[in-house]
């Protein structure tokens, strides 16, 4: 993402600025969420629109286990021109990390 902010790689710095540990890049979290849709369609080019709001950071603890992001999706609306809106839910450590996570997908 070109984001070299030390909150993403320096534990001491992240804690000095009030974070519990380093945090994952928001763009990584966003990419992991849309993967559910691209795996479902089998074609990343089928996604014609995608957007999210970042609601909480994904904390990556220094415990050798890393962080887990759980993502689910549902077709929430049938739109025009063989497209659907897919609403996604992404959580980490039991907390919602993305809000308003929606994709518009063109069906084959």
pLDDT at position 62 is: 83
Domains and CATH numbers, the chain: 25-106 (3.10.129.10)
Position with higher pLDDT, 62 vs 100? 100
Query: With 90 as the cut, is the pLDDT of residue 63 above it?
Result: no
Distance CA 56, CA 97 (A): 5
Q: List the strands of the sheet with 70-78, edge to edge.
A: 47-54, 95-106, 83-92, 70-78
Cα-flanking dihedrals φ and ψ of residue 54, to 5°? -85, 115
Q: Answer whether 90's CB lies under 8 Å from 71's CB.
A: yes
Nearest to 69 by CA among 39, 34, 42: 34
> How confident is the model over 70-80, as pLDDT tens digits?
999 999 999 99
pLDDT at position 1 is: 73
**Local confidence band at 7 (pLDDT 50, 70, 90 cut-offs):** very high
């Amino acid at each position: 993402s070109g984001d070299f902010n030390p909150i993403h790689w320096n534990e001491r710095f992240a804690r000095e600025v009030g974070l519990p540990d380093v945090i994952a890049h928001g763009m990584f979290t966003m990419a992991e969420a849309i993967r559910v849709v691209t795996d479902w369609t089998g074609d990343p080019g089928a996604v014609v629109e995608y957007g999210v709001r970042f609601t909480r950071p994904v904390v990556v603890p220094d415990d050798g286990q890393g962080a887990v992001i759980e993502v689910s999706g549902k077709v929430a609306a049938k739109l025009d021109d063989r497209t659907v809106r897919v609403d996604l839910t992404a959580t980490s450590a039991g907390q919602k990390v993305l809000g308003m996570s929606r994709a518009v997908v063109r069906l084959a």
